[in-house]
Amino acid sequence: QVQLVEFGGGLVQPGGSLRLSCAASGRIFSINAMAWYRQAPGKERELVATITRYGTTKYADSVKGRFAISRDNAKNTVYLQMNSLKPEDTAVYYCNAGRATSIPPYDYWGQGTQVTVSS
C-alpha cells in the first residue's frame, strides 16, 4: 500500500504564495501519475493539476498561469507552487497518486492540507 502525506498548507494573504508538498511512502513502485485536487466547503472536489512520471502537466483553467505542479521522482514527492493566490483558492488540497496512466482520480489519497487565502 502507498501512503501520501501533504505539507505546506496554511494561511496566506491574497496575492501571496504557498508551496505544497506531498511525500509518498510504501509501495512507491506502483506510482506513475500524480495529481492535486481541492475541495472548498459546500463544493465538490475538483481537479487542480496532474503530472506524469515524465513531467507532462495539465492544469484547471482556474489556476493556469498561477500554479505549477512538479515532482522529484528520487524523493517520491510532488509539489504544487501556488502564486497570486485568491480567496477563491481557499480549500483543502489533496494529493492523489497511482499507477494509472489515464485520467484521475488515481489509486491513493493523502489526508489533505488546508489552504486559506484571506486578508
Residues 2/10, Cβ–Cβ less than 8 Å:
no
pLDDT for the residue numbered 95: 98
Running along the chain, 119 residues long, what does each successive block of 10 average in pLDDT?
96 98 93 96 97 94 98 95 98 94 91 98
Q: How far is residue 57's CA from residue 35's CA, in Å, rounded to a whole number?
A: 9
Cis peptide upstream of residue 105 (ω within 30 degrees of 0):
yes
pLDDT for the residue numbered 86: 98
pLDDT for the residue numbered 101: 75
